[in-house]
Amino acid sequence: MSPQNIAHSIHRYLSLRKHKDTHFKRHTDAIEKWRMQHMAHCYEPLMSDPSYSLLLHYYFNEVFSGIDLSELGEAKMAMKFINKVFTGTEMLHSALEFNAITGEINQALAEYIFEEKDAEILTEELYSEACHKLQIIEKLDQQITCFEDFAKDINSTLSNKVVYTSIKIARLPAKLAGCSNLYRLVSDGFETLRKIDNPRKIAETFINHERYTISRLASKTLPIYLPIGHDGT
């Protein structure tokens, strides 16, 4: 991913309505909460398995609802920090694109469901309707592709001492640059993943089930969300 694409991903996130409209943010928060509850139900069988629980808890708590980059102020500052401090940032690049898509999905759904439809509650039927009307399914597919790109070299990156050292020494520069949240996400994620024997294998399990869920949504099959294992994994 080129520096221009990275900056574009950050700019897309910073341009979301929720940053300037607190009333609208309540709508996007409701979308995030609804989607998270349904996804958590899918992965509940794995939450008590130490092999999976660390990664799943990190994903749901730090990544799924979108990474808060509002501290950056502008994409140019973030790009300067990323280029100066981090080595081997391909995974970070994928994460930033994932983040931009996440924000755009939640914004589009909130506008349709709570403004255009003036709905009070979100159901799977209404969610499916919105996803088809707004072509959200394509966005969800792009989102999983970003996750695939993130996971592709995850094992080799985690064992790369140069990358690890780069992250460790970036704490102070991140604070001085006003990028503490971005640094914390990278640092905590790296430390979490290093505790897992084979994070790529776990990520592949997650990706396969998410693609199965998207296929149910695309075919308008209800319920959309089924516990992992029902897709044959």
The answer to whether 200 and 156 are in contact (CB under 8 A) is: no
The answer to whether 107 and 18 are in contact (CB under 8 A) is: yes
Q: How far is CA 94 from the centre of its chain?
A: 10
**What pLDDT was estimated at residue 144?**
94
Which amino acid, one-letter code, is at 219?
Answer: S
The answer to whether 133 and 112 are in contact (CB under 8 A) is: yes
**What pLDDT was estimated at residue 232?**
52
Q: Is there a domain that residue 15 lies in?
A: yes
Q: Is there a domain that residue 232 lies in?
A: no
**pTM of this prediction?**
0.88
**What pLDDT was estimated at residue 190?**
85
Q: Is there a domain that residue 169 lies in?
A: yes
**What residues of the chain score a pLDDT lower than 70?**
1-3, 74-75, 77-78, 84-89, 231-233
Decide: helix, strand or coil at residue 121: coil
Q: Is there a domain that residue 229 lies in?
A: no
Q: Is there a domain that residue 108 lies in?
A: yes
**What pLDDT was estimated at residue 107?**
97
Q: Is there a domain that residue 129 lies in?
A: yes
Q: What's the domain range around 74?
A: 3-218
**What pLDDT was estimated at residue 85?**
66
**What pLDDT was estimated at residue 176?**
78
Q: Is there a domain that residue 228 lies in?
A: no
Domain count, the chain: 1
**What pLDDT was estimated at residue 88?**
56
The answer to whether 174 and 180 are in contact (CB under 8 A) is: yes
Q: Is there a domain that residue 231 lies in?
A: no
**What pLDDT was estimated at residue 197?**
84
